[in-house]
Amino acid sequence: MPERSIKIAPSILSADFANFGQEIRAVEAQGADWIHVDVMDGHFVPNLTFGPPLVKAIRPHISTVMDVHLMIAPVDPYIDAFAEAGSDIITAHLEAGPHIHRTLQAIRAAGCKAGLALNPGTGLADMAYLLDMVDLVCVMAVNPGFGGQKFIHSQVDKVRRLREMIGDRPIQIEIDGGITPDTAPLMAAAGADVLVAGSAVFKGGSVADPAPYGENIRRIREAADAAL
Ligand code: DX5
Ligand code: ZN
C-alpha cells in the first residue's frame, strides 16, 4: 500500500439528473470517497446546473463527504445557503471576484472547509497570501463548465509547483476535469490528493447496473496509486 492514498470524488454532473439520490448511493457503494457537486450559474461558466435546494435534497443520500464546487459569481451572497444545505467543503474560484480573501473567510465562518479553485489559465502567484486560509486547492485541468472535456496537460506542472508551495501545510490538492486511468497517474505523481472524475466514473453504468461504476473507480485508483 502506498503511504499517501488517493481519494476519488465522482462528479454527479455525469449522473442521471432524474435520480441523484440513487446515483449517489450507488457510486458510494461502489467505492467513491467523496461526492463532488458542481454548481454552475450560466454567468461565471457557460452552463447552468442547480442551487442550494437541490444540494440540500441530496445531502441525506451522501454518507461520505459533500464537496461543493461553486462555479458562480458572485459567491458571497450564497455561502450561507450552501452551508445550511450541508456542504462539508465549499470551493470558490479565485477568478470569481476581487475579494476572494473575504469569500474564504466567510466559508470558514459558516462552518465549512474552504476550497480555492483555479482555472487552467490562472497562475499560482495570486495564491501566496491565501494559503493559510484554505483547506483545499482545486486545480482545474479543463475550463470549467462541462463534463467530458479533454485534459489540459500544462496543469501537471502547476500541481507540481503547487505541492512545493504548500510545503507542510494541511492543504489537500484536488484535480478536476479530464481525469481517466491515463491522466490520473500524472496528477498523482505531481502531488494530487483527490481526483474528481465525472464521465470516467459514470460511463457504462446505471442505477440498475452499478458494477461499472466500481470497475471505473478501481481502474482510476489503481493507476493513481501505482504512480505514488
Ligand atoms: C467541470 C466540472 C467537473 C466535471 C468533470 O466544470 O467542475 O467537476 O464534472 O467532468 P469530467 O471528469 O468528465 O472531466
Ligand atoms: Zn467540479
- Kindly report, residue by residue over 76-92, the tens digit of the pLDDT: 999 999 999 999 999 99
Query: In angstroms, rounded to a whole number, what is the distance separating the alpha carbons of residues 63 and 56?
Result: 14
The catalytic position among 38, 41, 88, 193 is 38
Share of the chain above pLDDT 70, in %: 99
Distance 180 CA to ligand 1 centre (A): 11
C-alpha cell at 20: 441523484
Say whether pLDDT at 144 is over 80: yes
Does the beta carbon of 196 lie inside 6 Å of ligand 1? yes
Q: What is the mean pLDDT of residues 124-151?
A: 98
Query: In angstroms, rounded to a whole number, what is the distance separating the alpha carbons of residues 186 and 224?
Result: 8
Q: What letter would DSSP give residue 154?
A: H
Query: What's residue 4's pLDDT?
Result: 80
Q: What is the mean pLDDT of residues 172-184?
A: 98
C-alpha cell at 4: 499517501
Query: What's residue 166's pLDDT?
Result: 98
Query: What's residue 2's pLDDT?
Result: 57
Average pLDDT, the chain: 97
Q: What is the mean pLDDT of residues 165-193?
A: 98
pLDDT 10s digits, 98-131 = 999 999 999 999 999 999 999 999 999 999 999 9
Does the beta carbon of 38 lie inside 6 Å of ligand 1? yes
The catalytic position among 88, 135, 176, 193 is 176
Distance 83 CA to ligand 2 centre (A): 17
Closest ligand 1 atom number to CA of residue 140:
7
Q: What is the mean pLDDT of residues 21-29?
A: 98
Query: In angstroms, rounded to a whole number, what is the distance separating the alpha carbons of residues 70 and 183?
Result: 24
Does the beta carbon of 149 lie inside 6 Å of ligand 1? yes
Does the beta carbon of 14 lie inside 6 Å of ligand 1? yes
Query: What's residue 99's pLDDT?
Result: 98
| Active site annotation includes 76 | no
| Active site annotation includes 38 | yes
Residue 140, phi then psi, degrees to nearest 5: -80, 125
Considering only CA atoms, which residue is closest to atom 6 of ligand 1? 144
Say whether pLDDT at 186 is over 90: yes
- Strand-by-strand arrangement of the 136-140 sheet: 7-10, 194-197, 172-176, 136-140, 113-118, 89-93, 66-71, 35-40
Say whether pLDDT at 1 is over 70: no
Does the beta carbon of 49 lie inside 6 Å of ligand 1? no
